[in-house]
Structure formats: structure tokens, C-alpha cells
Structure 1
Amino acid sequence: MTGYRPDRAATADRVSPSPGFGQRFTLFVDTEEEFDWTAPFRRDARAVTAADAIPAAAGRLVEQGAAPVFLVDHPIATDPRAIAALAAALEHDRVGVGTQLHPWVSPPFEEEVSARNSFLGNLPLGLQAAKLDALTQAITTAFARGPRIFRAGRYGLGPGTIELLAPRGYRIDSSMRAHYSYAGEGGPDYSDVGNHPFRVAGLVELAFTTVFTGALRRAGPSLHRTADRVPRGHGLLSRTGLLNRVSLTPEDMPLADALEAVRVAIGDGLPILNLAFHSPSLVPGHTPYVRDAADLRAFWRWWDAVLALLAQRGVASASEGEVVAALG
């Protein structure tokens, strides 16, 4: 099945953090192998050399007040070099580890490798469960702790996927990207999913935060869908300052837009701002977002400024343990 769309009634079952938690932010890092983002998916694209940059990056982020949670996939969880890098990062008390499942590089390998099958939720439920079991066990073995936070690679949930998580010890899912749709690629549609945590299938969904900014931001979701049908509609809205859709990531999100999105989210009282990036972006040449040394400097300028703004506004980080306890 393709085009999965979460039930609106389920997304309305909001969860507020425990008393005293305050307004906080999380940082979930998609910690994965290196591959050509412009080429077809391949099972043998499993290099993890960029993981060498993780310990220094984790230290820098922790020094600036963040508490990164590295959501690792199968190539990371089974490579000694990558395991050692993550283990060094985990020496920081406020660094955590969770799961990210890329089905095309996660055993058992029973499905055809294709764009459609890169969305976990498009696979038979039994195969999804088998891949999840194999990856969960690999992470538990590698890091001597059971993962409690899950993200489907490519945000690829499907009907029944999320029901697999709680029985395997997961407490939080972060597979949904608020106000985004991948239906055109055969994936899920999260157009109606907002940023507030909500309860679903025995756990809590903490979507990747997406904020609408601009003069017409209150009509953001519906207006953005309308602009989908107008040639260059999104560009026109953005250039005129009427509407911007901004995810909280340095990857393809300009710094000025991100700072405004953070201000809006804080002003709207969003209890948890959920930020993210891909671990290969720590080394130039592995993602479209960090192609060279200049891009890497811009990547870190983004984090310097965003984390400084969060600190200035009194929004502290939430570690893996803290966010699980507050939402669980």
C-alpha cells in the first residue's frame, strides 16, 4: 500500500510533557551510511567513514547546550569503526542513541530494492517486523542499551508500522515530518500532522518540527497545499514574505528563516522543538547540503546561531532520557 496518511483522530490525541518540564528542544541525528543521494538505492552502499566526525561534533553540540540523540541504522550499528565513534560520543552524559531504519540496507533482504520499497511502510508487515527486530538487536548489542526512540528512514511509516514499536520497547516515534507529504513518491502523507506530540499505538509521536512563517502563517497548511497546484507558487509566497515552510534543520533551510521559525515556535508555545540533521553532513561531499568546506562552515554557523537563540530564549535541551520520561 502507498500513500499512507495518519488518522486525523489519532493525531488529535495530544500529549503534554510532565509538569516542570518547561519548553525544551530535542536534536535527533539521522546517523547513517554514505550514499549517492541522486542515484538509485543500493544494498552495497554501506560506507561509514563520516562517523569518524561524530565524537567531535557531539562534543561541540553538548558544549553549546544540545543533547543529541544519534538514531543509528544497520551499517552504523554493525561496523566496528562506527560503533567506536558512537561509543566515544556516548561518553557525554547528555548524548543518546536510538534507531533509524533504512530498509534497503537492513536485513533480512527479501524485497526488491526500489524507490517504493525505500519506504519501510510499503513492505509486508512481517518483513518490517523482521528488519526492526534485527536492527534493534544490533543496536542493543553494539551499545549495551535498548533503543527507545525510532525513526523510519525517509519518514517511511505505513499502515501498521507504528504498532510494531511499543511491544519492542520503543517509547517515542519520530518518523513523521510535520506538514510534509511523500505521497508523490509512493510514501506517506503527513500534511495534516502538526508539531505537538500526540499519543498513538501505545507510544508518543514527536514529529520533526516544521514551522510556517510569514504574514499568512496561520493559514499555512491549507495555503501551502493550494500553492502546490500553482506554478512557482511556493517561491512567490516566500519572496513576498507571505508564507515560508521551515523545518528545523541546517540542511536546505537558510539561517534567517530558521531563526524566525524558532521565534514563531517559541511564541506559539510549542512544548518541544524537534531539530535534526544527517550525520554524513558532518563531512563535506556526502550529502547535497554539505558539498565542500564552505558548506561545512555554514552548517556550523547555523547551529551556533540557532543554539544561541534557544539559550537566549531560555529553551533548554532535552536528553533522550528526559524526553522519554516527560512524554512517556
Structure 2
Amino acid sequence: MDLLKRQREDGEYTMRILTLTTLYPSAARPFHGIFVENRLRAVKARGHDIRVVAPVPWFPSSASLFGAYGKFAATPTNENRHGLPVSHPRYPLVPKIGMTLAADSLARCFHQAIQRHIDDGFVPDLIDAHYYYPDAVAAARAAAHFDLPVVATARGTDINLIPTYPRQRRMVLDTAAKVAASICVADALRDEMISLGADGQKIHTIRNGVDLSLFTPGDREAAKQNFGVSERVIASVGHLIERKGHHLIIDALPQLADTHLLIAGTGPEEAALKQQAERVGVRQRVHFLGPVPHEALPDVYRAADILVLASSREGWPNVLLEAMACGTPCVATPVWGSGEVIAAPAAGRLAGARTSDALVEAITMLTASRPDRAATRQYAEQFGWAPVAEKVEQVWTEAAASKPKLTRRAGWGRKAATAPGATRAILTVDTEEIFDWKSGYSDWQVPPVDALHRLQAVAEKNGFKPLYFTTYPLLNDDEVGGTLAKWAMAGRADIGLHLHNWCTPPIIDKTEDASSFQCNIDPALHEQKLSTLIEMFTRRVGQPPVAHRAGRYGIAPWVLDQLAARGVMYDFSPSAGFDFRPGQGPDFFNFGTSPRQRETAWGTQWVIPVSGVRKWRRLEHYPALPGIPDGPARAAMNMATLPVRLTPEGHTAAQLTNVARHLVGRGMPILTPSLHITSIVPGATPYAPDDAGVERILSTLDDWMSWAVSDGVVPAGLGDIIEQLARSDA
């Protein structure tokens, strides 16, 4: 159902939102990123369908002695928090060097999560990402494969600290340019993004809100009694790390007579802070409360005469608003968004600097002229979550409308039923230009037509009708393209599309390794290239194409949608058992070899994988591969097995026979042996470095085809495959 059809009774529209972030609470870490959850709860209350993917680093043990890593392991795989379905997939993160590799690892995790949701029927209208690096960077990479718009929210150190590293700065700015919109939780962060080089017209300031029903004024004296204090109280709330500045407040305490300090939080600096309190002689006046549940924080704020926040960096400090909503004014260091929160006398005071002396001065002055608690509460009431949710919804709606709606709901489709009858085999040929993979993609040439004749002769000898997936330069070549067109008209061969970024007009930029995968081309540019290729195909062949194989097997659902819109309903791209993610390509490790059936707005589309298996290293045995998610089991299987394609390139006829027998034994209805036409040109590929290499490939193919026919496999052309798929759908 399209967005415009999901109309609510109040006239607004329900959006499907997939939130991707590592900054989210869980049963194991209930306070982590709770402000993200609070915003989503507020937007969900407006009627939107929101799912959350909050990955955690993989770790083998949940034992408490492992600290934060143990909590990663203790995080549930799935949970439901306040009506929001939350999944916590694992991703690899190497300690110490994790910051450098995190975006790549997360991008793979997010890509799988998006695909899993689409396959389950939840197709997002929008990706909602929180924290720019690595989360939003990874989310934008993953979303591009599905042509999904992204709104990224900047929250603090992702903008005011991480971009001080040049590599991360480049990735942040690149992502800011690609996402549909950015949200900053403070004007200070927005200004910093603009100063870094981001486009200010795409950046919106939407501050965090506060739960006005949870954080309320209460009995101050009763709250003090709960903590065993009766004198003046100041509070400091936050993770016990240097950046939060708890040590500065402890240093200030000797100058604040008859004042107790409540510290709520836990973290690596706890022991050092306790030692500091002993050293400066205030240990009896400093109360370490440990981790305080979110719902119990109001009592901390109510007990305090003043909340003090001494951070070195903040986005939009939520603790200030929470305290104010309880009627407690605040003192904060003059950093980033703190000055935007404390913007009136009723809110409190900003210290003149981030020093203990400046904090003492601000606390003393605020104590002398402390605002009425009711006035402080009234000030906080302008920051409820309802107006925040409304503003977020507006940005989301505009972002969702920024992308043309494709039939992304089809995903990869469902496994097709198997029609009765013998297994059929169609020889598929990547009919492409000669080029050097190691020196870029700009220097290429059309292969000699003799290669076509030699391959065609072997195929026809065994009763096979090849399907030539042909690139733009070869279609445009009168000799090669003309020969293929004649064979197609005579019924001797079939022709399909093969799109190479580097040689299909319009050619905008130099092709890099990542953009050599067809699925990594910008969708708008891809549509132009596809139109150019189809026009050339139709002019050469005399009829429009119906079959396709993606350049470098780089297929994705959004590419399939563009093909379906142009009538190309048979795709032969996924290379079963292969994982191209190290080169930023697609992952077909778990794809399988069975055809898949996609229901699109333009009719049924079929995805027929390149036949292949994974085999044990050094053994001609092929393990069954159930869906293995990323993680230790997948890594172990990847090390223990190799992907093997049904091709004469690099394999013997006996090896091909073993693979084919295995696939036929598993009931595969269609075999798609494949090779590159350039392997029939001496020296054009590593598979055929000379004439002897070409002869070896042709001889292997000949022997395998002869065996296949004798073993009952039926040679087929594209028309036969189409007929077989139609019968399986009947």
C-alpha cells in the first residue's frame, strides 16, 4: 500500500519508519540512548508504524566481569519497548580500532536489517538514523541500496568531536550531502555542521523534549529524606566520565559550606572520583547513588536545590530540562547547547567558564536569587515532547516525498515453486568488453567476433542455445552486435542486458571499485544508463529486452524495480554463495540457487541465480547452508568453505559435474552455467592466459555439456526457461 493510501481518520498519513542506531536502550542497558526512545515514542503516538534496529557489538560472554562488553552479550535479540519492536543484531567491532571500521561493519548490519524487514513485508518510507558517525554514515550507505530516503539526527560529539578526525569528517560531510535531511538537537550543532561544510538548507534544529508527566515537582523535603540529607543539596547526573565534569563539582564543594552533592550515574571514573572526594575532604558530603533508573530520577531532581552540569561537550543536555520540569533550576558550563536550555532567569545560570571557581560563583549567585520552583517548572513546560514529535513528523514527511516511490515492497521475492519435470540448463554468457581489472575501468576494447563463433559452436554441438548478456559497447559494435542480432533472429541465441557503469552513457565520474557494482550507481543516474542501454538494445535487436544480468552481479531490489518498470522481467544476477561485501557489493552467501518470484506493480518478475555452491576447502563436498546471519558462525563457515560457480573458468569438467549433480540432487529446476566471453580471448582474463587456456575452457565446457545431456539435463533457451517458470506459477 502506498503512503498516500495509508490515510488515518484525522486526514494525516501513516508512515512506515525504520530507525537505525546503536544509541538505544535495551533490557541490558536501560538508560543507553533513552532520549532517542523518548522521541520515537512521541512520534509513534501520532499514529506512525515505527520499527527499531539497534545493533550491539558481538561478544561471547555476558558475565559481569566483562563490564560493558558483557552487557552487549546480555542484550536480547528482540524485545518490545513501549510498543516499539526493537531488534538487536550483532556486528563485529574490534576494540581499540573499532572507530575506524565501525561504519563499514554497521553498514553491512543495517543492509541486512533493511532487507529482512522488506522480506517480512515491512517496507520503510524512510530511514531514521541517530548519531552521525558511525550510525548515520552506515545507515545512508545501506539505504542507498534500496533507494530509501534517510533523515539523520546529530546529537553531540558526533558533530563537535568526531569530525576533528579528517577521515571521519569526510564521511560525515559526505553523508550530510546524501541524506534527505539532517536534524540537530541544538542550534550550536547546526552551526557547527554548517561551519564544517554541510548545506544549512537541509539542516533542521529540533530540540529534545522532556516527559512532563514523569518529571514533575514533588515533596522536596521527603525527597531529601530519601537520600539522608537535610542541608543544601546540589546534584550531578550523568555517566561517570571526564567529559561530564563531576570532578569539577567535587573540587568546588570545599567552597560551598553546608552543601551535599548527589551524583547519579556509573562509569569508569567512579573510583577516581571517590578518591578525589577523600583527598579534598568532602567524602562525607558526596553521595554516589550509582545507576538510577530513568523513572526514579525525579526524586533526585526534587531533592536538589540546584542541578549542576559541568560537561565539556553537550548537544542538547536532557538532564537540564528534566530538572527544570521538577522545579529545580540549573547551573551549567557554557558549552554547546547548554546556553540554549538555560535561556532565562527561571532556568538558572550559566557559569562563566568550565572551572571549579566559575561553578562556585554561579552556584552562589543562583542560591542568592533562586527562582520560584513553579516558575522553573513553567519554563520547562514549553519543551514537551508533543511539539517535538510534530516537527519531526514534518521533516519525515518532506523527506519521504523526496524520493520517487518504487515497488520496494517486493524485496528479493519469494522462493518459487518447482514445476515437475527434468532439470533444464541454460548457458549464460557475460558478453562484455576486454579490460584490466587491476588498472581501473577506463581502458577497454571490444573483443573479436571470433570468440563468439568459437563459443557458439561448442554450445550448438551439444544442443544449447546461449543467452548472451551484452554490454553497451558490444551492442554498438556492428560486427559483434550485428552477429548477435542475426543469431537472435535465427533462433540460435538469446540476448539480454549487461550494464557496466564505466562504459554505459551517460558517463559522469570515474568508476571506482565500489561503483563498478551496478547496485552502487546513483539510482537516478542508473535509470538514465538503463534507458540508454535499452535504446541501444532495441535498435540493434529490433525488440525490447526481457532478460538482464547486473554488472559484477551487483543487483539490488531497487535495480530490479527499475528493470521491471521497463519490462525486463527475468534477472540472472545473484551469484549463489558469494559475498561481495568486502568490495562494497551485495551479499549472496545465503541467497540459494532456487528462482525467486517478485510481485511488482508491472507484473511478476523472476530472479534466477547464477548456479553455485559453497564447498569445503580441499574437499569436493558441499554443505547445506541454512540462513546463517553475520557473526561467529558465519565467519567460521566462510573460512571453512569456498564459493564455487558453475563455470568452466578455473574448474575441471569433473568439478562441474560434481556441482551439477549436487544441485540436481537438491531438486534445482534450473541450472545456469556461466562464463565470460573474454575468457575465449587469449590473455584477456586470468582463466585463459593463452591459446591453450582458451582451448581448455572450451574443452571443459564441451565435456560438461555432453555429460549433462547424457545425464538427463535438458538444454534450454530463454523461451524454455520462461515457459518453465510460468508452469511453476500455475
Note whether the superposition's TM-score is higher than 0.5.
Answer: yes
Identity %: 27
Q: Is the 8 A contact 1:74 1:106 kept in 2?
A: yes
Offset of 1:38 from its aligned partner?
Answer: 2.2
Check the 8 A contact 2:412/2:557 in 1, yes or no.
no
Partner of 1:131: 529
1:77-102 deviations in whole A, cap 9, x for unaligned? Answer: 11112112323443652410000100
Query: Structure 1 residues 210 and 164 mapped into 2: Cα distance closer, same or farther (>3 Å)?
Result: same
How many Å apart are 1:269 and its aligned residue? 1.3
| 1:151-172 Cα shifts (integer Å, max 9, x gaps) | 1110112351111111211121
CA distance in 2, matches of 1:11, 1:124: 20
Among 206, 210, 220, the residue aligned to 2:608: 206
State how far apart, in whole Å, the 2-side matches of 1:49 and 1:72 are.
12
- Letter of the structure 1 residue corresponding to residue 430 of structure 2: D
Higher Cα Rg, which structure: 2
- Per the alignment, residue 231 of structure 2 pairs with none
Note closer, same or farther for the CA distance 1:151–1:327 as it changes in structure 2 (3 Å cut). Answer: same
Are residue 189 (structure 1) and residue 587 (structure 2) matched? yes
Residue deviations 1:196-224 (CA, integer Å, cap 9, x gap): 00112441100101124545612487577
Distance, in Å, in 2 between the alignment partners of 1:288 and 1:181 is 21
SS of match in other structure, 2:594: coil
Which of 621, 636, 639 matches 1:226?
636
Q: Does 1:247 pair with 2:645?
A: yes
* 1:59–1:89 contact (8 Å) kept in structure 2: no
Counterpart of 1:272 in structure 2 is 670
Query: Which of residues 291, 312, 316 in structure 1 aligns to 2:710?
Result: 312
1:170-189 to 2 correspondences below 5 Å: 170-189=568-587
> Residue 25 of structure 1: CA displacement?
0.8
Tell me the number of residue pairs that the alignment of Structure 1 and Structure 2 aligns: 313
Paired residues of 2:425 and 2:673 also in contact (CA < 8 A): yes
What letter is aligned with 2:709?
Answer: A
Partner of 2:438: 38
Q: State the partner residue of 2:22.
A: none
Amino acid at match of 1:255: A
Q: How does 1:118-157 map to 2 (within 5 A)?
A: 118-157=516-555
**What per-residue deviation string (whole Å, max 9, x for no partner) do you get for residues 96-121 of structure 1?**
00001001110111233211111121
Give, in angstroms, the shift of residue 288 of structure 1. 1.1
**Superposition pairs for residues 11-26 of structure 1, below 5 Å?**
11=412, 13-16=414-417, 22-26=422-426
Question: Is 2:562 aligned against 1:164?
Answer: yes
Greater shift after overlay, 132-141 or 244-253? 244-253
Would the alpha carbon gap of residues 158 and 263 (structure 1) be closer, same or farther in structure 2, given more than 3 Å must change?
Answer: closer
Give the secondary-structure state (helix, strand or coil) at the position aligned to 2:426.
strand
User: For residue 468 of structure 2, what is the aligned residue in structure 1?
Assistant: 70
SS of equivalent to 2:682? coil
2:452 is equivalent to residue 54 of structure 1: yes
Q: Which residue is equivalent to 2:689? A: 291
Matches of 1:149 and 1:192 in 2, distance apart?
Answer: 23
Partner Cα separation in structure 1 for residue 645 and residue 438 of structure 2: 21
Paired residues of 2:422 and 2:712 also in contact (CA < 8 A): no
Gaps of 5+ in 2: 1-103, 121-410
Contact preservation (8 Å) 2:419, 2:669 = no
Structure 1 partner of 2:657? 259
The structure showing larger relative contact order (alpha-carbon pairs under 8 Å, at least 6 residues apart) is 1
> In 1, Cα distance between the equivalents of 2:546 and 2:561?
14
Gaps of 5+ in 1: 235-243
Q: Following the alignment from structure 2 to structure 1, what is the Cα–Cα distance between the partners of residues 414 and 447?
A: 41
What is the identity, as a one-letter code, of the residue corresponding to 1:208? V
Q: Is the partner of 1:160 in helix, strand or coil?
A: helix
1:281–1:195: structure 2 CA closer, same or farther, 3 Å change rule? same
Give the stretch that moved more between structures: 59-68 or 94-103. Answer: 59-68
Paired with 2:486 and 2:512, the residues of 1 have a C-alpha distance of 35
Aligned equivalents of 1:12, 1:142: Cα separation in 2: 32
Letter in structure 1 aligned against 2:608: L
Counterpart in 2 of 1:101? 499
For 2:643 and 2:532, how far apart are their aligned partners in 1? 36
Whether the aligned pair in 2 keeps the contact of 1:52 and 1:82 (CA below 8 Å) is no
224 and 311 in structure 1: CA distance in 2 versus 1, 3 angstrom threshold: farther
Give the equivalent residue in structure 2 for 1:29.
429
Q: Tell me which amino acid in the other structure corresponds to 1:218.
A: A
Give the corresponding residue for 2:271.
none
**8 Å CA contact retained: 1:179, 1:221:** no
Indicate how the Cα distance of structure 1 residues 18 and 215 shifts in structure 2: closer, same or farther if over 3 A, else same.
Answer: closer
Opposite residue 648 of structure 2, the aligned amino acid is: P
Distance in 2 between residues matched to 1:245 and 1:268, nearest whole Å:
17
Q: Equivalent residue for 1:217?
A: 623
Asked if structure 2 preserves the Cα contact closer than 8 Å seen for 1:247 and 1:253, the reply is: no
Closer/same/farther in 2, CA of residues 314 and 94 from structure 1, 3 Å limit: farther
Q: Quick check: 1:24–1:271 contact (8 Å CA) kept in 2?
A: yes
Residue in 1 aligned with 2:82?
none
Tell me, in whole angstroms, the C-alpha distance in 1 between the residues paired with 2:719 and 2:596. Answer: 18
Matched, 1:300 2:698: yes
- Relative to structure 1, the CA distance from residue 167 to residue 159 in structure 2 (aligned partners, 3 Å threshold; closer, same or farther) is closer
TM-score, with length taken from structure 2? 0.41
CA deviation profile, 1:111-142 (whole Å, cap 9, x unmatched): 33211111121122111111111101101111
SS in 2 for 1:204: strand
Q: Give yes or no for contact 1:246–1:253 (8 Å, CA) kept in 2.
A: no
RMSD: 2.4
| Contact 1:28–1:70 (Cα < 8 Å) also in 2 | yes
Question: Structure 1 pair 159/122, CA: closer, same or farther in 2 (3 Å)?
Answer: farther
Q: Distance in 1 between matches of 2:608 and 2:625?
A: 22
